[in-house]
Each structure stands twice: as C-alpha cells, then as structure tokens.
Structure 1
Amino acid sequence: MIVSWNWLTQYVRLDMPVEVLTERLALAGLNHEATAEVGGDLAIDLEVTSNRPDCLSHLGVAREIAVLFDRGLCEPNPRPPTSGPPVETKTAVVVEAADLCPRFTARLVSGVTVGESPWWLRKRLETIGVRPISNVVDVTNYVLFECSQPLHAYDFDKLAGRRLIVRRARGGETLTAINNKVYELEPDMLVIADAERPVGLAGVMGGLDTEIGSNSTNVLIEAAQFDPMSVRRTARALGLSSPSSYRFERPMDPERTDWASRRCAELILETAGGTLHPG
C-alpha cells in the first residue's frame, strides 16, 4: 500500500521526520518497505497485512497515525448539494442476489463535463502510482484510495433500460471488461447488469461498453458491499485482480459505502460540474 505524505496531511498533522513516522508505524504492524521522493511529495510503501484491512487507505493510515502520535483526525464530511427530480424517477436498482450483495447504492449526476482532472487530484494519484484518466474516473480512484471503498462510474446513457440489476451470470454470457479482454462468465459469478447484458463483474472490474468517455454527460455512481468469497472466486476463475477486488476480498466497513458514494458525488460536482439528483 503506497501512501502520499502530502495526501496524509489533509487528515492528520505530520511534523515528524518520515523516518520517525515509518518506524512507529512498523512497530504497530505496518512494516515500511520503501520511501521515494515523487515531485516534491513522498511516496511511502507500507506492508499491510491481511488482518489490517482498515489501513488499506489514506484515511485508515491517517487514523493509525493519529492514535500513535495522539493527534486529531480531520475527516471530510461530504454533503453534496442536490436538485432536480429524485433519482428514483430516473433509474432503479434491482438486487436479485441479496445473499451476495447486502448493500448497493446508486447516485446519479447529470450534466457533467468530462475532461482533465485538476492538478491536485492528478498529483496525488501520480504519487501513489495511479495514472490519471479523466476527472470522473480519477475521482472514483481517489475515493477508493482515500477510504478503501471501491466505486464504479457508469455512463448512464449507455445502460439499457436505464437501470442496474445485481444478479448471477447466466450460461453463455460474456463481458468485455475495461481492460479490453473478453471473459466467459460462469453461472455462480455475480454480475452487475442492465436490462440486456452484464455491464460489470461485481467487485472486480467494470465493462467496456458502459465506461465513462469524453462524451459522457450523465454518470451513475455505484458503491456497494459484495460477498468476499464471491469476489475472490470470480477474480481467481478469470485470472483478474484489481485494487477493488483486493479490498472486496477482505472485511470492509459497511458504514463507508454511503460515505464514499457521497464523497464521490461531491468531488465529481467539484471537478466536472453537473447536478446531483436527490435520493
């Protein structure tokens, strides 16, 4: 897990040498692998063991630092403004496999302008080795590494039926993922589908057909909780791994789901404009 020194300072006061910080974190179980200077920032590589999934994010590491050094923690409280018709009049989510998806939230932001992210957002992602793509996609990655809750953004206008269905895959179905590879799905795999076909592998990777592009204007934000074993089985069977699947395969804080969804919507409004529908 690579964290940015400058990013951490958004949440906790860091007035100690980096060597003191990493030594104290190592004593707490977060072993220090390496530190590298990246364009005026420090990229700190920490080994996060399987029993510390709470530290797979900047907020998680900042919380640990706050405890170790007796510091206050400044955590964002996202309250994105809403307007327009309620989201339930625009779209719907049907969870057919509730045993594998105990929680699913969807927020709709309309009228966005997809483009380059602001400098601060690009810089933080680049420091931890994540390539910036566009403001909307970068925000989903930013929130993932901020709080450890994976998110996915769909081009709402590319969803058949303008709705999402959480279900098991059907025999013969395939999905072209955002890595441009085609995967043959098995019936026990959990997918996110629209009215016609799968548009994502739940907890693993999104589909190419509904990804955000330069002409996207309406964005549906997914934040959910998926069964860890289901995600692990799908990822292993397809030979896929992603920062999202890595986190979904471990225990996650269910209270983070809505927080992350609100945070994502807030930052999309800030970086890409648009209107968040209430609900």
Structure 2
Amino acid sequence: MIVSWNWLKQYVQLDMPVAELVRRLMLAGFNHEGTEEVGGDLAIDLEITSNRPDCLGHIGVAREVAVLWNRPLAIPAVELLESGPDAASLCRVSIQCPQMCPRYTARIIRGVRVAESPWWLRTRLATLGIPSINNVVDITNYVLMECGQPLHAFDLRKLAGPEIIVRPGRPGETLVAIDHRQYAVGPETCVIADARQAV
C-alpha cells in the first residue's frame, strides 16, 4: 500500500525523519518496499500482510504510528446527513451468496454532477499513483485509501431495476471492469449485478 506522508500527518504528529518512521513500522511487521518523492509529498510503499487489514487505509496506518510513538490519533469526525426517503425504498440490496459477501450496503446520493475533481483530491491520489478520473470515481478511491473500505458508485438511472444483487458469477458470464477490459467470471467469483448483468 502506498502511504502519503502529508496525508498521514493529518491524523498523527510526524516529527520524526521518514527513515525512523519506516524503521519502526518494519519492526512492527510492515515491510518497506521503498519511498519516493511525488510532487512535494513522500509516497511510502508498505507491504500490508493479510493479518492486518486494519492497515489498508491511511487511518489504520496512522493508528499504528500513534501506538508506536504514544501519540494522539486525530480521526476526522463524520456527520452523516439524512434527507429524503430511505435508500432501501428506492433500491434494494439482495445478497445471494452470504458466504462470499456477508454484508453489502447501498446509499443514494442525489444532485451529483460528474466533473473534474478538486486540485487537493487529484494531488492526493496522484501521490498514491492513482489517476484522477472524475469527482465521483475519485472520492470512492479517496475513501478506500483513507479507511480501507472499497466503494463503487453506480448511476441509479442506468441500473436495470431498483435492486443491486450480490451473487456468484454465472458460467460463461463476463464483465467489463473499470480498466475497460473484459473478464470472465464464474461461480467462484462474487459479482455485483443488476437484474440484467454484472455491473
């Protein structure tokens, strides 16, 4: 995982040299793959092992740094504003393979205009090697890199029906991913679909 020095220091005080930060993280079990300067920031490449999914986002790594240096952790406060009808009344979520995906949630956000992302967001993602696509895609990538929580945004108007279905892939089924390549998916693959196809 690439960690931004500038982003990390929003959550925990970093007054040590980057080499000392990396040394202590390595002693705590994080392999250091390298550090590179990117546009006035440092991109620190850490290998996160499978037993530490809590560190797959900047907040998790900051929590680890806070513990290693006995520093306070400043996690941003989040206020969830509710308005309009309940999302479940507009779009249901059906999980048909709970052994593959025990939980899937959806949220409806109205009034979104797809546009270029603000400079700060493009810069932050660029440090991590993530190209800017647009404000909607970029904010989902931002949340992933902040919290370690994968997200995806769908245009509700383009879904075939008012339901998101989490199910195993079907024999011979394919889907086109965000990289515009077509992939075969079978029953061993969990897909997110609408009433017509994997989306």
Please state which band the TM-score falls in when normalised by the shorter chain. Answer: over 0.9
Residue of structure 2 in register with 1:8 after alignment: 8
In 1, distance between residues paired with 2:188 and 2:32?
39
What's the secondary structure of 2:70's corresponding residue?
coil
Letter in 1 for 2:120: W
Letter in 2 for 1:165: I
CA–CA separation in structure 1 for the residues paired with 2:45 and 2:168: 37
Kindly indicate which of the two structures has a greater share of residues assigned to helix.
Answer: 1
Give the superposition deviation at 1:158.
0.7
Equivalent pairs: percent with the same residue? Answer: 61
CA distance in 1, matches of 2:127, 2:157: 33
Cα 1:183/1:39, change in 2 over 3 Å: closer
Q: Which residue of 2 aligns with 1:24?
A: 24
Provide the C-alpha distance between the structure 2 equivalents of 1:83 and 1:53, rounded to a whole number of angstroms: 33
- Cα drift, residue 169 of structure 1: 2.5
The 1:185/1:36 distance shift into structure 2, 3 A limit, reads closer
Shift of 1:173: 2.6
- Cα distance, 1:37 vs. partner? 1.6
Task: Name structure 2 gaps, 5 residues minimum.
Answer: none
Aligned to 1:164: 164
Q: Does residue 93 of the first structure (1) align with residue 99 of the second (2)?
A: no
Q: State the alpha-carbon separation in 2 of the partners of residues 19 and 182 from structure 1.
A: 42
Gaps of 5+ in 1: 200-279
Give the Cα–Cα distance (whole angstroms) in 2 for the partners of residues 53 and 145 of structure 1: 12
CA shift, 1:171, in A, is 3.3
Name the stretch that deviates more: 55-64 or 178-187: 178-187
What secondary structure does 1:198 align onto? coil
Name the structure 2 match of 1:50: 50
C-alpha distance in structure 1 between counterparts of 2:160 and 2:83, whole Å:
24
TM-score by length of 1: 0.67
Which digits, 9 at most, give the CA deviation of each residue in 1:7-49, with x for residues without a partner?
0011111111212211221221223332222111111122323
Distance 1:114 1:23 in 2: 42
TM-superposed deviation, 1:153 = 0.8
Q: Counterpart of 2:170 in structure 1: which amino acid?
A: R
Name which structure has the greater RCO, CA cutoff 8 Å, separation 6+: 1
Aligned to 2:123: 123
Q: Secondary structure at the match of 1:184?
A: strand
SS at match of 1:160: coil
Q: What amino acid sits opposite 2:3 in the alignment?
A: V
Structure 1 residues 44 and 111, CA gap change in structure 2 (3 angstroms): same
Distance 1:86 1:53, change over 3 A: closer
C-alpha separation in 2, matches of 1:124 and 1:177: 24
Residue range with higher mean Cα deviation, 180-189 or 118-127: 180-189
**SS in structure 1 at match of 2:175:** strand
After superposition, the Cα gap between the structure-2 partners of 1:162 and 1:49, relative to the gap in structure 1 and judged at 3 Å, is same
RMSD of aligned C-alpha atoms?
A: 1.6
Q: Does 1:34 align with 2:38?
A: no
Give me the whole-angstrom Cα distance separating, in 2, the residues matched to 1:101 and 1:148: 16
